[in-house]
Amino acid sequence: MSGLKFQPLVGRGFFRDAESVGIREFDRGEAVLGSDAFFDASNLSTVRLDLAGVHPDSQVALLWQTLSPSAEVHLVELHRGAAEVTWHRLDLEPDWDGQIAQVAIGVYGLHSVEPIRLRSLDFQPPTREILARFLWQDWRLFQPWRQGSANHYSGTPAETPLRPVTVMIIWLVTALVLLMIFIHWRRLAAAVWMPSALVVVLVPWLVLDGLWQARLSDQVASTRARFGGLDQAGKRGMEDDALLQAQAREVLDHLEPLRGQRLFILRESMRHEFNRLRLQYHLLPLNVYNFGHQLPEPGHARAGDYVLLLDDPGGVEFYSEDEVLVDERFRWPATLSLEQPRFLVFRLEGPGEEAF
Amino acid sequence: MPLLESLSLTGLIAALALPWLTGALVVRLLTGPNSGVNICLGYGFFLGQIVIIVLLLGWDTFFGGVRFLPLAALLLVLATSAGALVVRDNWRLPSRPRWPLMIWLMVAILLGLIGARFWLLLQELALRPVYPWDAWMNWVPRAVVWFHHAELTPFVLPPEWLIAPPEAEVYALGNWRASGYPPGVPLMLLWMMLGGGTADHTLLFLPWLVAPLAFALVLWGHLRTGGLGPVVTLVLIYLFLSLPFANIHTMLAGYADFWLGLYFSLGVMAAERWRHVGGMGHGALALILATGCAFMKTPGMVFAGLILMALILVGAGVSSRWLGRGVMLGLVAIALMLLGGVMPGLSAMPADRFLLPLPGFLPELRIQPQPLLPILFDSLFASSNWHLLWPVLGLSALAALVVRGWVILDSLALLSLVTAATLLVFVFGYTHYFRQAENLVTLNRAWLYLVPLTTYVMGVCWTSALRGSDGND
């Protein structure tokens, strides 16, 4: 399907040229181009996507509707590297079934300087060549850092049928066996076969390292696109939680001078949750106690301490007329000190007591 | 230049260079004139970090507070004193190696590969603010607070924080146990902050980039002294420096795991050197590096214990035969434990059937066999964490065994490596820490503790195989 058949469904600044269509601006972090279609999903289970202008840290998804009465919209994320032309398998998607009536390409997340440009979206039956392309694409896939990257590096998506390390081990062992046979047959001196063995080891290692070096290059390009040319404050402003950081800075400005101040963060989640921990980090060097979702006991907090309710933990109420902060266990005289979209900050004005 | 705004570049360079210089000179004094520049610089970087940790702790204890200039001046005095002793001790510059052109060409190619890799690592480290979870949750916060307070404000566990009297200024981290973690990494960071004049900058993590390179210098020194050729040695160094998981812990800086692995490896290598060349200096160096392990992470105490074990074995003059038996025992134990974890029936043992209390801060272990083998196999032989390190290790050991025979088991480094691996297999395969292996949160980071020493052991195997193949014993 040529990109020219697609229309804008979400986004602003739609344009069309001789080869492609595109969207210049996201609408609330989304841009979607869609088109009518009519084909049997089971016959065409691979897709070739030619899409440019996608920020390395954005996500791309294929959306589709079938002729079924429910008119449900199905979605699958298309893992793409830095390449503009990518191939994807759909036969593993349980909802890729029946008569396809509409398809769309959605881009979500960060906005690149370049506009999103769709040249073509082609559905094809699987062939050996296409399956080989899938494999190479999985091996070259660029996935930006996640928080789990420091724990494990798999190298390929989980569904990859053949992983590069496995292939290289097979290559290594096969090459060594052949080398040993050759050495034994030709009765070569050890001074010859040892360096040869080293070369046999180095070749597959260099293949794997070439893939890793390419992945790192993609990563550095992505990082540079986001943080390049900025000072430290500018970099902080480009992080995913920049808004949380800005709000934390307001808290710090409000509580100056910080030394000696104490603050309790209350959130509904159990401890060890990303947002509350991240907030504690951004509030440094403020002294923060970051556990639980209930008001502190009278012996654990004192007048002058602050309580921050993050994302409405529930169960804690503030009665402005009485200026008291109450939950099911305790009540504290308090004044509202700061109000932000994601949290409220209260100052404890006196000793706490049991609620009832 | 935006990258360098809000940062004192001179102070940062001084913060990096002064401990390194001091450490290198102290290593030179400890190990004698036969230690080459690479050995001194390599070990010296890590010794310098320990010096900084001790100085910061001591200065805060005795003088209250931490300041860059007095400590930098003290380091300069230490370095000057050590330097004077070194010069007096017939110091001489190393001569340029005389290699054929082909060797120089291959060395240049390998250095080019390494340079290309580290250029990418440097860019990622310099561009991205501190990113990995444990870094900004566990390790960086203490340094930030200490920097702002200009003293080492105590960090306590949450229950203690709640009951602390008003006059006691104590902090608690958001990870329940993290306040009790050793102070090494936060103090290393604090030193860079003090030098750079800021608590928030990407270049404060430069030591994470330098550490593997410093280890590479030690590898070069040891293996070249052991008789391995320059190209083969550099190939091995390239293999180490190209490992994806090690690269990740270099550029997504802020974790303590790689540091622990490096300190452990260097401590064992120093003990091995003591065994082969004698002289108490190498033994003392190993002992200092053991304290480095303990400064890095709580499990570091165990690895410090392994270095002490190695030193005791050297001091007791343990025979080759017993070293070899220890290696074989460890390998058999690993195999049995891994197989036992996947045998039906054994893994059906009820949890908490056996509890193993540990001393001090270490948590008690709930003993139960777990199927670690498939997870470990995937991590080592299928995932891209380690390229082909583990198959190559196996092949290297096999080659050395074929060429030299069982004598290759006569290795303190191999014994330490196998013992450490046995402990890890036990912890992840027979305790509740299996969950941390199953969800892949901790397994590879713990295995990283072994990787530097693994590379050294591989180098020893290559040396054995190549020397044996030359007819040299």
Compute CA distances B354 → B337, B339, B347, B434, whole Å.
16, 20, 13, 15
Q: Report yes or no: B430 and B337 within 8 Å, Cβ to Cβ.
A: yes
B247 contacts on A by Cβ (under 8 Å): 212, 216
Rounded to whole angstroms, how far apart are CA atoms B231 and A106? 51
**pLDDT tens across A229-270, in order?**
999 999 999 998 999 999 999 999 999 899 999 999 999 876
Nearest to B223, CA basis, from B422, B460, B470, B450: B460
Of A150, A274, A299, the CB nearest to B248: A150
What ipTM score was computed for the predicted complex, to two decimals?
0.93
Of B7, B385, B387, the CB nearest to A205: B387
Rounded to whole angstroms, how far apart are CA atoms B420 and B331? 11
What residues form DSSP beta bridges with A90?
Answer: none
Q: What is the pTM of this model?
A: 0.90
* Residue ranges in chain B modelled with pLDDT below 70: 90-94, 344-353, 359-363, 468-473
User: Which residue in chain A has the smallest CA separation from B122?
Assistant: A220
Of B124, B141, B147, the CB nearest to A219: B124
Domain A3-143 classification at class level: mainly beta
B392 contacts on A by Cβ (under 8 Å): 172, 201, 205
Q: Report yes or no: A122 and A39 within 8 Å, Cβ to Cβ.
A: no
Q: How many percent of chain A have pLDDT more than 90? A: 54
User: Which residue in chain A has the smallest CA separation from B166?
Assistant: A302
**Across the interface, do B127 and A220 touch by the CB < 8 Å criterion?**
yes
Of A205, A235, A288, the CB nearest to B239: A205
Rounded to whole angstroms, how far apart are CA atoms A287 and A289? 7
In this structure, the dihedral spanned by the alpha carbons of residues A221, A227, A228 and A229, taken in order and rounded to 10 degrees, is 170
Distance between B444 CA and the closest CA of chain A, angstroms: 6
B199 contacts on A by Cβ (under 8 Å): 284-285
**Across the interface, do B388 and A169 touch by the CB < 8 Å criterion?**
yes
**Across the interface, do A150 and B121 touch by the CB < 8 Å criterion?**
no
Q: What per-residue confidence (pLDDT) applies to B470?
A: 54
Residues in A 255-274 with any Cβ partner in B closer than 8 A: 258-260, 271-272, 274
Distance between B126 CA and the closest CA of chain A, angstroms: 10
* Residue-averaged pLDDT of chain A: 90
**Across the interface, do B144 and A284 touch by the CB < 8 Å criterion?**
yes
B120 contacts on A by Cβ (under 8 Å): 213, 216-217, 220
User: Which residue in chain B has the smallest CA separation from A285?
Assistant: B145
Question: Mutating which of A284, A302, A310 best tests the B interface, going by the most B Cβ atoms within 10 A?
Answer: A284
Q: What per-residue confidence (pLDDT) applies to A87?
A: 86
Rounded to whole angstroms, how far apart are CA atoms B215 and B262? 7
Residues in A 60-119 with any Cβ partner in B closer than 8 A: none
Q: Which of A125-134, A154-163, B51-60, B226-235 reaches the highest mean pLDDT?
A: B51-60
Handedness of CA B24, B25, B26, B30 (dihedral sign): positive
**pLDDT tens across A187-205, in order?**
877 667 778 888 899 999 9
* CB contact A203 to B (< 8 Å): no
B385 contacts on A by Cβ (under 8 Å): 152-153, 155
Q: What per-residue confidence (pLDDT) applies to B348?
A: 57
Q: Report yes or no: B197 and B8 within 8 Å, Cβ to Cβ.
A: yes
Residue with token string 């009820």? B350
Q: What per-residue confidence (pLDDT) applies to A32?
A: 94
Phi and psi, residue B118, nearest 5°: -75, -20
* CB contact A216 to B (< 8 Å): yes
* CB contact A146 to B (< 8 Å): no
**pLDDT tens across B21-48, in order?**
999 999 999 998 888 899 999 999 999 9
Q: What per-residue confidence (pLDDT) applies to B3?
A: 78
**Across the interface, do B392 and A235 touch by the CB < 8 Å criterion?**
no
**Across the interface, do B388 and A165 touch by the CB < 8 Å criterion?**
yes
**pLDDT tens across B277-301, in order?**
888 999 999 999 999 999 999 999 9
**pLDDT tens across A265-306, in order?**
999 876 678 989 999 999 999 999 999 899 999 999 999 999
Of B166, B399, B440, the CB nearest to A197: B399
**Across the interface, do B247 and A296 touch by the CB < 8 Å criterion?**
no
Number of residues assigned to chain B: 473
User: Which residue in chain B has the smallest CA separation from A190?
Assistant: B469
**Across the interface, do A204 and B172 touch by the CB < 8 Å criterion?**
no
Rounded to whole angstroms, how far apart are CA atoms B78 and B63? 19
Question: Mutating which of B377, B380, B388, B392 best tests the A interface, going by the most A Cβ atoms within 10 A?
Answer: B388
Rounded to whole angstroms, how far apart are CA atoms A199 and A178? 13
Amino acid at B155: F
**Across the interface, do A230 and B403 touch by the CB < 8 Å criterion?**
no
Rounded to whole angstroms, how far apart are CA atoms B287 and B294? 11
Phi and psi, residue A325, nearest 5°: -105, 125
A191 contacts on B by Cβ (under 8 Å): 469-470
**pLDDT tens across A20-39, in order?**
999 988 988 899 999 998 88
Q: What per-residue confidence (pLDDT) applies to A333?
A: 96
Of A189, A202, A231, the CB nearest to B2: A231
Distance between B52 CA and the closest CA of chain A, angstroms: 23
Is residue A231 exposed (0-12), middle (13-18) or buried (19+ Cβ within 10 Å)?
A: middle
**Across the interface, do B145 and A285 touch by the CB < 8 Å criterion?**
yes
Is residue B436 exposed (0-12), middle (13-18) or buried (19+ Cβ within 10 Å)?
A: middle
Q: What per-residue confidence (pLDDT) applies to B472?
A: 42
A166 contacts on B by Cβ (under 8 Å): 381-382
Nearest to B421, CA basis, from B356, B328, B331, B358: B331
**Across the interface, do A202 and B232 touch by the CB < 8 Å criterion?**
no
Question: How do the domains of chain A map onto residue ranges?
Answer: 3-143, 164-227, 242-354
Q: What per-residue confidence (pLDDT) applies to B345?
A: 66
Rounded to whole angstroms, how far apart are CA atoms B341 and B297? 27
